[in-house]
Every structure is written in C-alpha cells, then in structure tokens.
Structure 1
Amino acid sequence: MADPHNRSCLKALRTTDPREHKERIEKSSGGLFLDSCSWILDNAEFKQWYSHPRSNLLWIKGNPGKGKTMLLCSIIDGMSSTAEPNNQDACTPSYFFCQASDLRTNNATAVLRGLIYMIVDRQPILVSHARNRYDRAGDQILTDSNSWETLSKIFSAIVQDRRLIDSYIIIDALDQCTTDRDLLIGLIARLSAATSKIKWLVSSRNMSDIEEDFTMVHKLEISLELNDRSISQAVGLYTWHKVGELAKAKGYSDELQNAVYRHICLNARSSFLWVALVCQDIANIPTQSCILSRLAGFPTELNALYACMLYQVCGLGVSKLCLQILAIVSVVYRPITTDELSSLVDMPDGALDEETLAQALEICSSFLTIHQRTIFFVHPSAKDFLIGKATNTVFAPGMEHIHYTIFSQSLQVLQKSLRRDIYGLNAPGFPIDQVKQPDPDPLAAARYPCVYWARHLIDSVKLVKQHGHLHDGVKVDVFLRTKFLYWLESLSLLGSLPEGALSISRLHHVLRQKANPQLADLVRDAHIFITHHMAPIQSSPLQVYASALVFNPANFLVKNLFSHEEPGWIVPKPRAGDKERMPGGVQTLKAISEQIDSMVFSPDGTLLASVSIDGAVQIWNLETGRCTQTLHVHPASVYSVTFRPNSSNLIISGREDDSIHVWDTSTNQMLQTLKGHGDAICAIVFSPNNNDLLASGSWDQTVRIWDLAASSCVQTLNGHDGDVCTIAFSPDGVRLASGSSDCTIKIWDPVNGLCLQTLHRYNVVSTAIIFTPDGTKLVSALNRDSVAIWDVATGQCLHTAFVGAPLRQLRFDMTGSCLHTDRGTISVDFVSSRAASLEPYMRGYWISADNRWIKENSEKLLWLPSDYRACTALIRISSMSLVALGSSSGRIAILRLLDSSDTIS
C-alpha cells in the first residue's frame, strides 16, 4: 500500500490483527490437530454451505469445550491452502475471533474493524470506502458514539463492491461479543441475504438470546450436540494425540499410556477442553504411580473440574497471591503482560519479585496460560467459572475491592514512572509512526495502568471516595496536577489517546456527583484539553508540550498547572490591551470581517496591515494587540497593500475603482489618490533607490510608473496580453520585471518603456517575482507550487524546484544567501545543487505546504489547530521571528519565535 494516507487509514482500523490472534490461540492450545477437525468436511450442512451458491450463512453452535474455535481455525487453514497460487485471495477467508475478556475484541465495532482491516489489507483498492469518511473526521469515526453506524456503512459498501473478490467471512465465538451483538447479527443477516459474493460462517455457544436473534435469519445450522458421534470420535483422536505426547515426554510404558487413554476417553464427555485440562494437570505429576489415582479424582463435569483445580490452588502456601492474580486477570479490560501484572498486585511487603510471580502463575496454569509474556485464560469457560460459581472464593472481599486495588496500584506506578519525553524523542514534532520502543521499555509495567486506571476508579468509586482519594490534594488530584501531560504523552506513545479521552469523559460524569467541585472542574478541563488537542498529540506525542499548551486558553487549569512545560522558543505575547482570553504564547487579533485575504508588516515590524475579503483594511499595533485604524477604502475587495519604505504610509489598491491610495497610518489621513489604470490594480512595488517612485501592475495589462512627489504617472508599459499579476524592480532600480497571466515575464527599461526581454513558460503564471541581488537572475514563484530561476540576459529558465504551496511574497536578505517568502526562508544553495524540492533548503521557521505545521529547518515544530491554519501567512525574520497566520474566520494569530536550538530540552 504505497499511498501514505491509505496506510494511515489502515493503521487506524487495526485494533488487533486477527491473523496474529489466530496464531496465538493455536499456540496456547498446543497447536492445531487437524485429525480432530476433519469430520466437518463430511458434514452435509457444511458441504451445502460451501458449495451451494444460495447458502450464504452457516452457524455452528455448541457448549463450552466442544472445540468450536479450533474447528474454525482448521476450516480457515483448509480454505487458505486450497487457494490457487495466482488467485490467493479468492478462497482465503477474512475472520475475527471474539474474546469477552478483551475490550479490543469483545464488541461489534471491533469485529467490523478487524474484518475491514483484513479485507482492505488483502485488496487495497477497497480502502476508498473507508478513506471517504476517515479523511473528513480522522480516528474519531472509529471511536465516537456513531462508530457502529459509520463502520457498518463502510463494511456494507465494501462487501457489496463489484471489485471485491468472492470470499468467506468467519466470526468465532459470537457469545464472546458482549457489546452490540444483536446489531452485528442483524448486519450479518442483511448482508448474507443481499449479496452472494460473501459466504458467512459464525460460531457461538448455545445461548437463548443468540438463538432468538437468529430465529428469522435464513441459514444452515450445525449443532455440535446433535453431532455427538462425530465429536466423540474427534475427541478420541485428540485424546490419543495428547496422551501420546505425554507418553513420549514422560516415558510412559505402553500399559500406562493405554490406561490413561481409556480413562480419559470414558470420562471426557465429548469435551476437548476437559481432555486438555486433565492432560495439562497430570503432566506436572512427578511420580507415574500416582497418575491413575489422580485421574480417578477428576470430576467429569467441566465446572466441577475447575472447582477441583481451584481447591488445589487454595491449599498451597502462595494461595493468597494466586487468588489475587486470578481475580485481577478476571476483571482487567484486556489481557495483561507479566510486567503489567507485577505492577497491579498489592503486596503487603512491597514489590513482587519475578521468581515468586512465575511460581504463582505456574500454580494457576489450570486457569491461565502465557503467550509471549501475555496472560490469557485457557478457555473463556475458565473465566466464567471464576466470576460465577467461584466468586465467593476468588473475590472474597468483593469484586469492587479488586477494581480498587487495580486503580490504586495503577496510580502508584504511574506516579513513579511517568516523566516528560519518556522515550527520548527530543524533537517536538517527532512523528508517532517513527517511534521505536526502547529496550528496556520504561512503560513496560505502566501500559495497562496508563489506559485503564480511570475505568477501575469508576468501577470502585464508592471505595475510592471512602478512602478520601477524591479530595483536593489527594491521590487523583495530585496525579492530574503533576502528571497529566506526561500521561497524555504516554497514551500517545501507546496508541491509546482516544481510550484516555473516553475514560476522562466517563470520570467527569461520575465526579460531578461524587467529588469535590474543584476536582470535577479539573477533570472537565482535562477532558476538553484531550479532545481539542488529540490530533497533534496523536500525530507527535511531544506536541502535548507544544501545540496543546501554546493553543490552550490561558484561563484553563491545565494551561496554568503546566505553564513551566511550555516551549522556551515561544515568546509570551504582550499583555497590554489583550482583551481576549487566548493562549499565552499566541497573540490573537480579530478582524471585523471574515477571511483574511492578505497581510503585510510595516518596515520596523511594529505594525501589521490586514486586508479582509470584503475590502476592510485594518492596522494593528503588535505591541498592544489593538486595531489602531480601520480603513474602508473600496466598496469591494482591496487587492494589494504595502508599506512605503522607511515610512508609516500605507499604499492601497483596489479591484473596482482602479486607483491607488496613499494613507498616513499615524494620522489616519488619505494623502494621495493616483488614477490612470483601466482595471483593478493587483501589484505595487517601490523603486529601491527612490521612495517616491512607485510601479503598479493592473488587470488592464499594463504597468504604470508613478512619481508620488508629483502625483503623476511618468511611464506606461504596454505589451502583455493578460493581467499583470506581479512586478519587481532590479536592485539598482534600472530594470523592472512584470509577470502576467499570459504566462510571460517581461523585463523593462522603466525610463524609456522598452521591453528588453521576454521570459516564457508554457501554461504557468508567476504569482511573485524578484531579482537576485546581482541583478543577473530572476526568481519567480509559479502558480503550480514551484519556483523558477531565470537568466535575465538570455531569457532561459535555468532551474525549477517544487516548494509545495503558492508563494505570494519574495525578498532576498542583505547577503543574497537566503530568499525570504511569506511561508519562510529558502537557502539559495538549491540553485547550485539543482534540487528538485525546496524542503531540504528551508531555513529557520516556515509553514508547511498543508498549513498544518510550523517547521524549523526540516523538523516539524508546532502543529497548527484547524482554527489557526492560514488562508494567508506571513513570516518576518529578525532576532525574533514574527509569524502571522490569517484564517478564514477573520482571526489573525501572531507568534513570536526564538531560535529553538538553544531552548528545546
């Protein structure tokens, strides 16, 4: 998938990769034993579903332990292996395994995300259905309250797309889909009837509500209880396989192997799970003579077997720790790692060492299994037993107490481990997709606490309040006041910022009734902070200290609590006259009209002139932030404004009255009006060696030279066949260049009016032009987001380089080594190196082509929120760079930036 936007969309869809989930299930079950699953191939309903074009839905149902999941794994492998080498996608199914103990896999939205991810990953052309919505709203389409509706529309469009290769969709364990299962079944019913391009295979336990949801659905069914003979034979084969592995590993005699096999077969009751649990247990018996007596003590019913195994756990010296582990693993919102578990266990004497934890997990192996350091239940029925029939043993203090323990331990580990720039990224704009997890990972033990501490607080809010943790200056308040930004950074690194926002939202709802008002207000501000600044923090984690703080209103608690974390390269705005309660590092000016069309700084940088789209010109004092004058010069839009060199006089031209007006900004008086053009005047420039000499370019296809002292036109230059868009004097003032919509640039002698040279580039118009300091070359900004270099003498285009956005202003520095533009500064080294792109040659601060970032050199520095993205931009380079951003809302944002190299920590 070459398109980075497509890759970003696909990455956002992924919660887990179903292929990795399937691999983990098979490994934790000891591998896939195909002989125990082969019976399905001879089943009449399965064969009809597989081969008949109108049989689109098959439901396999059965009680726990009947091997449904492994059966579906074998079907998936069988279909994948029969695919033709040159048409692999035609038979390869897309699939999803539901798991109730994991928030990432226990809801209908997650199922659709997983299926869309697999289908699009296999057929990238179908990503367009997701991109249409993702490009408009980003990750929110996957997490907001309307995510099911959005994803179901995307999924429906994909499976009904004619480009979709005919395929299969397999969903295992619908009973484990605990949220919106009825919506999922309804969607399956509609789509299985609407299109024959997809065949559906789903499995579940025998549950009355699922049975009810499927009542009116046209489908085929396979009940494992009604196929007991086939299941019993399959369990027999599986038992022979498992006992054979045991005999080989433990050195059983043939007699013992046969005795174990017969006993298990007689008592298994067609349950693969019962066989697996028993074999796992007797594998740990060191003395072979005790094996048969141990087997005789096992109950034949599954829950009774679990009870027997729990009794054994309770009889050991570390039973208290084991029961706490079982309780924690039962209530967490996703499977946790051993590192995370060690941080959540409450040990009276302090930290839990690895050896003790490993010993306790081994004792719990009848209920828990470990895959790549992550802890899972051996089967969903094990968790069902612990939170159901065994709840008085495992949750003796109450389930709320376990949630409280997890909450309390979580805040403890977060308070100790979270810090600024925990992964050492250094650069404020370091992109999340380039972050590499350090080894060792400083967040290893804090990953689960980071995402879920607030959920467990809510689940135990009565106990939390009883312990006083919701008071000012106590646990929750202290954490938010000291670690909030570091927490958001870590959430971004973990890809879990939306989950953090959701948790804080729920926490605020709870605390409005149960906490002190001050804490509720802090949580409210925290939620607003996350939701308003989620995009930059998700994109670059360290933007939590840059964009999020800089553009957060000054009266917000988060802004005040973490003002010490603001970037050192942002100069605080002047306070005088600042009536708006806006960000402390951003000076915000609000024009009287909407959409800023153009802006210009005064020569000394103390004033800014802004032009609104309706023709209003406002003069702003940048020290006070006040509008000192508003000039309504024209009834329609003002086209061009510029300050007279070494003067406060403002030169204004308009679209409709074809005149140039000279205003004294200190007295608010119009000094002169120059008339003579026959159409709108769109370019004005002063001679570099005579402040009274002014040139203007017009839609009437002419350039006029004006003497301000005499208020007269001294020369008219004719020759263009289109609007004159831009003009520039040579450094010595003896040449004038004009760029036109006729795709030419003409070089003139402004004294005698002769055209000396015509530069032409097919179908490209110059939006701004300037001579190089030696006058031998001309730089033109092209309307196709590029810059061209011309030889003035020969008229040849020497080089063209891509800049990514239109440029409206060009100016060389005193040395001629840098070209200053309205979007930033470009090193002229790009000419000698004949660079194709100017981005590597941008120097200092500049605005990215998409208007999303202020960059420094090649590094992203400050994300611009959508309200601050420029319709027009302006950068003034001095010892302190001034960045002005004019928006479509009429807002002008002024940032004062120092060289960040000495201030970024």
Structure 2
Amino acid sequence: MNISDNVFGDNAQIRQGDSSEFRLDGPGSIQNNNTGSQISAVGFNASVNFHYNLGSTNKHQCLVDLRSTDPRDDKARIEQSKGYLLRSSYQWVLENAAYQQWLHTEDTQVLWIKGDPGKGKTMLLCGIIDELTTLEHSTNQQTAVLVSYFFCEAADARNNDATSLLRGLIYILADKQPSLIERIQKKHDHAGKALFEDTNAWYAVSRILTEILQDLQSKDTYLIIDALDECAPGDLPKLLNFIQASSPFRVKWIISSRNQPQIEQRIRSNQHLVTLSLEQNAEHVSQSVDEYIKLRVANLSSIADNEDLQAELRDVMRRKAHGTFLWVSLVIGELDAASSLEIQHIMKELPESLKKVYKRMIRQIEKHKPWIAKQCRLLLSTAAVAYRPLQLDELALLADIQDGDSDKLQLGVEAVEPQFITELVKLCGSFLTILNGIVYIIHQSAKEFLTGSASRILFPFGINETHHDIFWKSLQIMSDVLRRDIYGLVNPTFPVDKIQERSPDPLVGVYYSCVYWVDHLEEAEQTMKQRGDAGLSNDLWDKGIVHMFLKKKTLYWLEALSLKRNISSGVLAVAKLEQLLSVSVYV
C-alpha cells in the first residue's frame, strides 16, 4: 500500500487546541510539531507517524478529558427508558438484613446484589443511589458522605471496560469534591487526555482512585457499580481485585450482576462481602412486580374505563411474569398500541419467559411486508453489532436503509427522512427504543437473543459479514462527507476548545464511522480467521478500499476526529490497522 501520491499538498496542517498539531511534511509522512509519544503504522509501502501530546494545566480541561461519560446522565436516561422508578419497588431492600448489615457494620464493605436477567437490578440500584444521595445533603449526618456510581453496558464500548468504569466513579467524586481534582491534575499536566486512554490507562486511573480514597478517609464514601457482568470479561478480575484491595479505606461498595459462576468464584473469597440474592427474596420481588403491573395496566388508554378487563389482564400478567420486570415492560409495549378487543386476544397468547417473548417479537416482525421486514432486520443487525448506541441518522446510513422510492445507494447524511427511520424502529417490536434521537437496544438479554437465537434470521451470512458491511459502508460515508476544513474555520491553527457546536453539524452522521471503522474491519477479519477462512485481506491490498481512503482522506479523517476532541481514537485505529496490515502480509 502506498499513499505517497496524496492529494493534500505538502503543507496541510491540523491543530487541536494548544497541544497537538499534525503536519504533512512530504509525501506519505505525518508529523507533529510538539513533543510527545509516537505511534507508527507501516503496511507495505505506507508510513503514517503520529506524535501525540495533550498536556494541559487547565483544571476544566482535566475534567473534560477524564469524562468518558457522566453516570448521572446515564442514570437519568436509564430511568426514562425503563420508566416508573417506584419507591415501593425497592423499599424492601432498604429494610433487608443484608443491606442493613452492609450499611451499618464496619467490617462489611461489599454488598453483592445478584439476580437473573430482567429482575430489576438496575432500577433497584437507581433507588438505592437516590436513598444514599440524600445522605449527602442531610444535616443530621455528623460525617460527610460522598456517593458515586457507574452503569456498565455491554452494548456501549464507552461503558463496558474497567478503565471507563473507574473514570466514571472518579468523575462524579471530583465534580462533587473539587479539591480532589488536584490528585488528577498533577498527572494530567504531563500526559493530557492520553493519561486516561493509552495502554497504561488502567494503572494510572486505578492509582488515582486509590489516592482519592486515601484522601477521603474522613468521609463515608459509597461506590455503586451496576451490571458488573456486562464489563469486558478480561477486565472483570482487575475490578474485583481492586475492590478487594480497597478494604483498608473508608469505602463501601454495592455491585450488581447476574448469577454467573465466574463472578461468584472470584468474589466469594472477599471476607468483607454480604450477598443479597433476588431469587432468595422472590416474594419481595414478586410484590414489587405486582405493583408495577398495576400501574402500567392502569395507564393503558384503550381499557382505561374497563375495570373488569384491567383486573383480568393484571391477573394474567401476574401469573406469567414470574417476578420479571422486563417481561412486564415488553408485554406492555405490545399492549400500548392495541385496542381493547386486541388486548383480550393477546392475553390468551402471552408467553411465560423472556426468550419466548423475544421469539414472538421476531415472528411479528417477519409478518410485515417483505420489504419492511428486510429493513427491520437491517436495523436490528446493525444495532446489535454497533460499538455504541447509534443516532437515528447514523443507524439509517450504516444499515443502508432505503426509503422505498429508489434502489440507488444513498450516502448523503439527509438520505433518509428522520420520520421514516423512526417509524421503522417502532416496527422492530420492543427490541429498540429511541431516546433523544439515539437508538438503544432495550436490554442486554435482548442483544444476546438477537446475536444468538435470532442470528440465523438477522445474520444469514454470519455476524462477521455484518461487521464487514458496516466497515465498507463507513469508508463510503467518510469518503463522501469528509473534506478539508469541514467546519469552515479557514485558520488551521484555530484552538479546538473555542470551536462552537455547528447546527447542523456536518459530522453528525459520519462521526461513528470515523471512530469505529477499523474496529469493524478488525472484527470481520478475526472472526473469519477463527473459522479458518482466508479473511478479507484484499481490503488491505494496494488499490483496495482502505488504500484509496487513506490516500485521499487521511488528513480529513484526522481533522474530523480533532474537531470532536478525539484524535486519540485515530491513534488507536492506526495501531490496529498496523497490526492488521502486518498480519495480512503473511497470510
């Protein structure tokens, strides 16, 4: 691969704030004018060099760089998507002996809440967080209290690894206790954002949190982690070891997860642990689910005036829910759009397990007209393998959704009307939900069903083929959209922290592709090689799609990432691409 005959000219520049600058010094070479680390990617005749340094003395910038997500926003979004956080649904936990022992006994440092999928663990923790947070503002407390938390989400690459988890915990602590920023700032001054993102990020972040816990010895610190089982498998031992190593400090942990042997094997050795099993408290959970059913049925507009039908529906749902909140939520999703006559018919057919509900939803999708069913399958398969929840326009572009008027390949950001894609999402049963223009899979168990039991329908040629389709489409979208000075700044040294948000933003439909195109290529390659196939290495050959993209769009791609304050993703992508290139040479 040779990108020497590029179309940029010899003096193109990209500058990110006051800390990183990229210059094309000559054919095929990108250099940085500041001191910093260097990552090279070499494949065939290509050479791309990054010098990367983001040191900063700005405390605000330190917090901005630390933030991978704000768990408080995640909590608000989760509560909105799941709906109805009822105090009566978690009140029993506050009175439970295990919780009381954890809260009031000095030796009991970790409370593990475990239960099967859909039992309401996340909403339970949301309620506990609310209760503990009230202690922060209580005037009756003799000692100060700090509460921080994080929601692991396997479907979002930004929220499913150990480093991001600790960053989220630290972010809330530092935001609530500004004096703690000093601990972070000292290290951030030397490394900048790379402190939180490079290959040593876990070690740096875990040391920072350890030092913070040392500083908080005069306070009661409560750290809550939801869905530990959704953390990347390789990161789980690190997290559990860190929790156990924190025993000398004045900190208490609550963690939740499914009933998974690998977690139990690692956590049961913790002498400061108490366990709260939802299955062993099935009566309390069932009572909470009954209250949830009562509320949701009462809000069904089509039977609002039919108390007899409401009572009959409540009785059927209570018998079939088996103490599972998610089952109730999915069934209500179908009943919401049904007439009273349809509700009477649906009641008789309601399945009694989550998996059977999911199968029913797939069958209903397949009953649509063939063209609609195909579009729904494309939406579901794309959402299921995406590395984060997608915006509506991103999903439409990556799934290659057509509006029915043309078979023509659509690449423009405005190719599909928002109303059209919104209606398609609604036709995907209750697998997908839309919040603030972002499409989420309703639950991790739903994603596992889509990529498992439903894979023959959604991925007839294998999941790797969908990854490859997204990779291919991403390069097409970026090639079509990216251009020099896409924000019209004119001056290439304009500081990125002074750039105002664009409306409309020309990068809105292409940003996911800028960050994750190499990840999808890597996944497609690795999956095929695991199956013993030759792989898709022709994509990496001279004059292949990757070669042509890098030849024409490399600086525009880096400029887009820089404008989004995420040039580090480009560094990581090049490193992954280098590995793919080096392997393909010997295939």
Q: Which residue of 2 aligns with 1:295?
A: 347
Deviations along 1:285-316, one digit per CA (max 9) or x if unpaired, are 1x211212212212101111101111111121
Q: Which residue of 2 aligns with 1:96?
A: 150
| Alignment of 1:492 onto 2:562 | yes
Q: Which residue of 2 aligns with 1:310?
A: 362
Q: Which residue of 2 aligns with 1:119?
A: 173
Alignment map for 1:463-478 (pairs within 5 Å): 468-478=538-548
Q: Which residue of 2 aligns with 1:72?
A: 125
| Alignment of 1:397 onto 2:452 | no
- Normalized against structure 2, the TM-score is what? 0.83
Contact 2:88–2:288 (CA under 8 A) maintained in structure 1 = yes
Ranked by relative contact order (alpha carbons within 8 Å, sequence separation 6 or more), the top structure is 2
Contact 1:471–1:515 (CA under 8 A) maintained in structure 2 = no
**How large is the Cα RMSD of the aligned pairs?**
2.1
Distance 1:162 1:516, change over 3 A: closer
Alignment map for 1:22-421 (pairs within 5 Å): 22-84=75-137, 90-162=144-216, 165-178=219-232, 179-191=234-246, 193-195=247-249, 197-218=250-271, 219-246=273-300, 248=301, 251-285=304-338, 287-317=339-369, 318-346=372-400, 347=402, 348-351=407-410, 353-354=416-417, 355-421=419-485
Rounded to whole Å, the distance in 2 between the matches of 1:164 and 1:145 is 33
Rounded to whole Å, the distance in 2 between the matches of 1:418 and 1:84 is 49
Look up the equivalent residue of 2:342 and give its one-letter code. Answer: C
Deviations along 1:637-686, one digit per CA (max 9) or x if unpaired, are xxxxxxxxxxxxxxxxxxxxxxxxxxxxxxxxxxxxxxxxxxxxxxxxxx
Q: Which residue of 2 aligns with 1:792?
A: none
Distance 1:252 1:411, change over 3 A: farther
Look up the equivalent residue of 1:35 and give its one-letter code. Answer: S
CA displacement at 1:460 relative to structure 2: 2.1
Q: Which residue of 2 aligns with 1:577?
A: none
Contact 1:61–1:204 (CA under 8 A) maintained in structure 2 = yes
Aligned positions, number: 511
Unpaired segments ≥5 residues, structure 1: 518-905
Distance 1:326 1:164, change over 3 A: farther
Rounded to whole Å, the distance in 2 between the matches of 1:94 and 1:237 is 29
CA displacement at 1:485 relative to structure 2: 0.5
Deviations along 1:817-861, one digit per CA (max 9) or x if unpaired, are xxxxxxxxxxxxxxxxxxxxxxxxxxxxxxxxxxxxxxxxxxxxx
Rounded to whole Å, the distance in 1 between the matches of 2:252 and 2:293 is 32
Look up the equivalent residue of 2:360 and give its one-letter code. Answer: C
| Alignment of 1:501 onto 2:501 | no
1:434 equivalent among 498, 508, 528: 498
Rounded to whole Å, the distance in 1 between the matches of 2:512 and 2:156 is 12
Contact 1:126–1:164 (CA under 8 A) maintained in structure 2 = no
Distance 1:365 1:93, change over 3 A: farther
Contact 1:464–1:470 (CA under 8 A) maintained in structure 2 = no
CA displacement at 1:183 relative to structure 2: 0.4
Look up the equivalent residue of 2:558 and give its one-letter code. Answer: L
Which 10-residue stretch deviates more, 375-384 or 421-430?
421-430
Contact 2:146–2:220 (CA under 8 A) maintained in structure 1 = no
Rounded to whole Å, the distance in 2 between the matches of 1:252 and 1:500 is 58
CA displacement at 1:252 relative to structure 2: 4.1
Rounded to whole Å, the distance in 2 between the matches of 1:149 and 1:205 is 27
Contact 2:365–2:429 (CA under 8 A) maintained in structure 1 = no
Contact 2:146–2:173 (CA under 8 A) maintained in structure 1 = no
Contact 1:342–1:445 (CA under 8 A) maintained in structure 2 = no
Contact 2:157–2:387 (CA under 8 A) maintained in structure 1 = yes
- Normalized against structure 1, the TM-score is what? 0.55
Which 10-residue stretch deviates more, 46-55 or 423-432?
423-432
Look up the equivalent residue of 2:238 and give its one-letter code. Answer: L
Rounded to whole Å, the distance in 2 between the matches of 1:332 and 1:393 is 18
Contact 1:158–1:164 (CA under 8 A) maintained in structure 2 = no
Look up the equivalent residue of 1:384 and give its one-letter code. Answer: E
Sequence identity, in percent? 38
CA displacement at 1:80 relative to structure 2: 1.8
Rounded to whole Å, the distance in 1 between the matches of 2:126 and 2:132 is 10
Contact 1:57–1:199 (CA under 8 A) maintained in structure 2 = yes
Q: Which residue of 2 aligns with 1:423?
A: 487
Deviations along 1:682-725, one digit per CA (max 9) or x if unpaired, are xxxxxxxxxxxxxxxxxxxxxxxxxxxxxxxxxxxxxxxxxxxx
CA displacement at 1:516 relative to structure 2: 10
CA displacement at 1:471 relative to structure 2: 3.0
Contact 2:381–2:466 (CA under 8 A) maintained in structure 1 = yes
| Alignment of 1:482 onto 2:552 | yes
Rounded to whole Å, the distance in 2 between the matches of 1:84 and 1:457 is 49
User: In proportion to residue count, which structure has more helix?
Assistant: 2
Look up the equivalent residue of 2:356 and give its one-letter code. Answer: A
Give secondary structure in 2 for the equivalent of 1:322.
Answer: helix
Rounded to whole Å, the distance in 2 between the matches of 1:514 and 1:382 is 35
Q: Which residue of 2 aligns with 1:19?
A: 72
Contact 1:62–1:225 (CA under 8 A) maintained in structure 2 = yes
Contact 2:57–2:189 (CA under 8 A) maintained in structure 1 = no
Look up the equivalent residue of 1:324 and give its one-letter code. Answer: L
Rounded to whole Å, the distance in 1 between the matches of 2:581 and 2:561 is 22
Rounded to whole Å, the distance in 2 between the matches of 1:234 and 1:31 is 12
Contact 2:63–2:171 (CA under 8 A) maintained in structure 1 = yes
Give secondary structure in 1 for the equivalent of 2:113.
Answer: strand
Distance 1:446 1:516, change over 3 A: farther
User: In proportion to residue count, which structure has more strand?
Assistant: 1
Rounded to whole Å, the distance in 1 between the matches of 2:494 and 2:302 is 51
Contact 1:40–1:46 (CA under 8 A) maintained in structure 2 = yes
Distance 1:345 1:87, change over 3 A: farther
Give secondary structure in 2 for the equivalent of 1:382.
Answer: helix
Give secondary structure in 1 for the equivalent of 2:299.
Answer: helix
Distance 1:58 1:465, change over 3 A: closer
CA displacement at 1:204 relative to structure 2: 0.4
Rounded to whole Å, the distance in 2 between the matches of 1:350 and 1:297 is 41
Look up the equivalent residue of 1:282 and give its one-letter code. Answer: L
